Chains A and B, each alone.
Chain A
Amino acid sequence: MKRLLSLLLLQFSFLGLVVSAQTVSPIIVECGKKCRGEFSITNNGLTALAVTVEARSFSLDTLGHATNRPLDPSVELKLEEGSARISPKGTHIFGYQLKCSAPPCSVTILSSMVAGHTAEGILVRVQVAHTIYVCEKQKNCRKTVRAAAGVTVD
């Protein structure tokens, strides 16, 4: 992760290569115990993108910073696809089904894609996250999870 960040910093600070922003939507969803949802990745660039998706459970510290870990045993996630190729200016929808046997569950689906190469050939990989909060009741789930973690900032 540190390597990726340093590459990104190097990319944006010094080399001046134009990297088109890629977007994920929605960023956050709230669910009841059984959740069927989807998110879309938009390739705003002019070349096709290979995207891989993988899921992580996460926990929050009191400042709201997330720490990712492998999926908890209480989370059963079925992704429709693990990867896709997105055309220039195209959008791809990833569907999933999620069950949480011990709510609340906090899951993030990371979409990873190669955004370009530097002039020196260093690969620039970008990750965007779709975050799912699962509770007994959908309403105010994110608020409940953040309050339980003692997050004091919004």
Chain B
Amino acid sequence: MLRACLCVLLLGFPVGAQVLQLSGGRSTLLGGTGGEITAFFPESTLSASAGFADGHFVFGASDTFQFNGLEVTSGDRNFGYSFDGAGLGVSTRGLFVQRNTRHTSLAVFAGSTGIGYATPFMVTARVQHIGVGLFLQRQFDNGLVLSSLAVIDGGKHTAVQGLSYRSHPFHLAGSGGLLQNQKYFTGEADYQPLRSLSFSATHNDFFLADHLNTNSLSGFAGLGHITLQASFLDGQYKLLKTTGASAGAGLRIGSVTVRSNFYESNHRVLLVHVLQEQFHRWAVSGIVNQLQGQTSYALGGGYHGNKVSVSLDHSVLFFPVGGKGFQQTTTVQVSLRIHDTALNLQTNVDPMMHAQYTTYASSYLQGPLAGPATTSQSHSTGGRFVIAGVVVDEHHQPVEGAAIRLGGGTVVYSNSEGKFFARVKRDKPAGLVVLLQEFATSGRWAVKTCPVDAVPGAEVLIELRRKIAP
């Protein structure tokens, strides 16, 4: 019955939607395949997801709207909050109500809880239990913040109290209680006497099947072009103690950054030297790793443009469980944007050379209520030659927001002086078409005069006539 309702919802709600967002993808990292459709209306947002996660068919749907100053969601939603070093996220299906004011945040939910699958392309849940939850946070003018979280998730109970206090240059925070039937305590102290000098100490205790505790002490200093950092970490779980220390220094001159970091854990020493250059939209990095007498080299970097972004990153993370200590991971990301569609691919490679990927696409469609929207692609390709012109009305006043398509499909818009330009690679005439339906200005217009084409280096004049006063 519920699946039938979902199908009706999926087929029915986009018809009158203002804007539709469609997403779909697959992730071995997050363990799911599926898609989501979201319809944005002036007063509400409807969303439905379906797919497979860990071999099970999963689905979800939600409606979010405002009611008397409250944000109300019926359906699937994540009830997740973090504060003062601890946090909890529960996937829920039911009724969620939230109210935020300047000093107070209040959220409650009632319904069912279960296993959630939250990915960039799908948000679903497999409900298992009856659940209720309450989150309340109060901020006081003197820098004191009190937070409370209470959740019943089937047989798992959470009751957490947090307290933080900020008074420059100190920040103190701590929280404790019952986190899904497990006792825990966490504390943090920060001291930042200067913007470029800070120290931090943290302590965590988690009473799981065995006691897990972690401690860290870190410091950071910035001295003009030089940065220095150091940290000490230790963790103990199942009688296995893991310790780590790191220290690093960096030097930045112009667009070039040189950084050396030292990592030591369980008597293993890793040295990482990074040379990074940031130039315009390009970033290139050379990495040298020295581990127990062995040296390895890696190249990283990326390009971030308007249509394409590509990056290759190496990072060193601390794993307190299993005695792994500091481990290196590699991430490759590729993003493409074609019209209103974004395509993303991310691959993570862990130290054991296990590769996992996440790939998804997302697109927007304009519905009948959205009104006129620009639909053409308008990125100029760049080049040595400039095609330029000016758009005026019948009184020779500049027209702002007029859309003109140049040969090759590039669409440009006129500015407040009626002027437009595009850079082209070839020194040859380009056709001109005035796109009356694409104008980013008010009123209806007709073309009075427009040259057939434009020659690089010579300014063209386009004259329009207003058909109806705005």
Binding site for B on A (CB under 8 A): 18, 36, 38, 46-54, 80-85, 87-90, 92-93, 95, 112-114, 117, 121-123
In the complex, the answer to whether A50 meets B382 with C-beta atoms within 8 Å is no
**Contact between B371 and A117 (Cβ–Cβ < 8 Å)?**
yes
Interface 1/0 per residue, B67-101 and A, CB below 8 Å: 00000000000000000000000000000000000
Taking the closest CB of chain A, its distance from the CB of B397, in whole angstroms, is: 14
Tell me if A121 and B306 are in contact (CB < 8 A). no
The A-contacting residues of B in range 381-418, CB under 8 angstroms, are 382, 400-401, 403, 411-417
Q: Contacts of A52 on B, CB cut-off 8 Å? A: 400-401, 413-416, 420
Interface check B139, CB cutoff 8 A: no
User: By DSSP majority rule, is chain B's interface helix, strand, loop, or mixed?
Assistant: loop
Q: List 7 A-B contacts (CB under 8 A).
A: A46-B21, A47-B19, A47-B373, A50-B378, A50-B440, A81-B423, A123-B442
A69 CB, nearest partner CB in chain B, Å: 13
What band does the interface of chain B fall in when counting residues whose beta carbon is under 8 Å from A? Answer: 35 or more
Task: Select which of A36, A83, A93, A123 is within 8 A of B306 by beta carbon.
Answer: A93
Q: Is the CB–CB distance between A87 and B339 below 8 Å?
A: yes
CB of A114 within 8 A of CB of B401, answer: yes
| Cβ-defined partner of A80 (8 Å) among B371, B382, B420, B441 | B382
Contact call A85/B377, Cβ cutoff below 8 A: yes
Q: How far is the CB of A38 from chain B (nearest CB, A)?
A: 7
Closest chain A residue to B375, Cβ basis: A48
Q: Does B304 contact A (CB under 8 A)?
A: yes
Residues of B within 8 Å of A95, CB to CB, are 280-281
Tell yes or no: B342 within 8 A of A by CB. yes
* CB neighbours of A123 from chain B (8 A): 441-442, 470
Decide if B366 is an interface residue (CB 8 Å cutoff): yes
On whether the beta carbons of B40 and A54 are closer than 8 Å, the reply is: no
B453 on the A face (CB < 8 A)? no
- Asked whether A82 lies within 8 Å of B403 as measured between CB atoms, the reply is no
Residues of B within 8 A of A89 (CB): 364
Give the one of A48, A90, A122, A123 with max B CB within 10 A. Answer: A48
Docked CA distance A84–B410 (Å)? 10
Contact of A83 with B376 in the complex, beta carbons under 8 Å: no
Number of A-B contacts (CB under 8 A): 108
Are A50 and B403 interface neighbours, CB within 8 A?
Answer: yes
Residues A112 and B422 in contact in the complex (CB < 8 Å), given A50-B401, A52-B401, A123-B470: no
Indicate if the CB atoms of B374 and A85 lie closer than 8 Å: yes
Say if the beta carbon of B350 comes within 8 Å of chain A: no
Please tell me which one of the listed residues A46, A47, A82 contacts residue B421 in the complex, with CB atoms under 8 A apart: A82
Known contacts A80-B423, A93-B281, A114-B401, A87 near B379 by CB under 8 Å: no
**Interface majority SS on A: helix, strand, loop or mixed?**
strand
Name the A residues within 8 Å of B421 (CB-CB). Answer: 82
CA distance A108 to B50 in the complex (A): 47
Please give me the residue from chain A that is nearest to B440 by CB atom. Answer: A50
Quote the shortest CB–CB distance from A150 to chain B (angstroms). 27
Rounded to whole angstroms, the CA-CA distance of A89 and B344 in the bound complex is 14
Check B54 for interface membership: any CB of A closer than 8 A. no
Q: Is the CB of A92 within 8 A of B470?
A: no
A88 to B415, Cβ gap below 8 A?
no
Task: Decide: B40 and A48 in contact? CB cutoff 8 A.
Answer: no
Q: Which residues of B contact A81 (CB under 8 A)?
A: 379-380, 422-423
The CA-CA distance from A36 to B279 in the complex, in Å, is 10
User: Given the complex of chains A and B, what is the CA–CA distance between A28 and B378 in angstroms?
Assistant: 26
Which one, A38, A54, A117, A121, contacts B281 given CB within 8 A? Answer: A38
| Chain B residues with CB under 8 A of A80 | 380, 382, 423
A88 touches B340 (CB 8 A): yes
Name the residue on B nearest A70 (C-beta).
B417
A113 to B401, CA, bound (A): 9
B415-A54 in contact (CB<8A)? yes
Q: Which residues of B contact A82 (CB under 8 A)?
A: 412-413, 415, 419-422
Q: Give min CB distance, B386 to chain A, whole Å.
A: 9
CB distance from A29 to the nearest CB of B (A): 13
Given A92-B306, A114-B441, A83 and B378 contact (CB-CB distance below 8 Å): yes
Q: Is the CB of A48 within 8 A of B374?
A: yes
Q: Which residues of B contact A93 (CB under 8 A)?
A: 281, 304-306
Q: Are A84 and B414 in contact (CB under 8 A)?
A: no
Please name all residues of chain A whose beta carbon is closer than 8 Å to the beta carbon of B375 when the two chains form the complex. Answer: 48
Q: Mark B7-32, 1 if CB is under 8 A from A, else 0.
A: 00000000000110100000000000
Q: How far is the CB of B343 from chain A (nearest CB, A)?
A: 12
A41 to chain B, nearest CB (A): 11
Tell me the bound Cα distance from A112 to B401 in angstroms. 9
B21 partner residues in chain A, CB cutoff 8 A:
46, 88
Within the complex, the shortest CB–CB distance from B115 to chain A, in Å, comes to: 28
A91 to B280, CA, bound (A): 16
Provide the bound-state CA to CA distance between A122 and B151, in Å: 48
Q: Determine how close the nearest CB of chain A comes to the CB of B14; give it in whole angstroms.
A: 14
Q: Is the CB of A88 within 8 A of B337?
A: no
Q: Are A50 and B413 in contact (CB under 8 A)?
A: yes
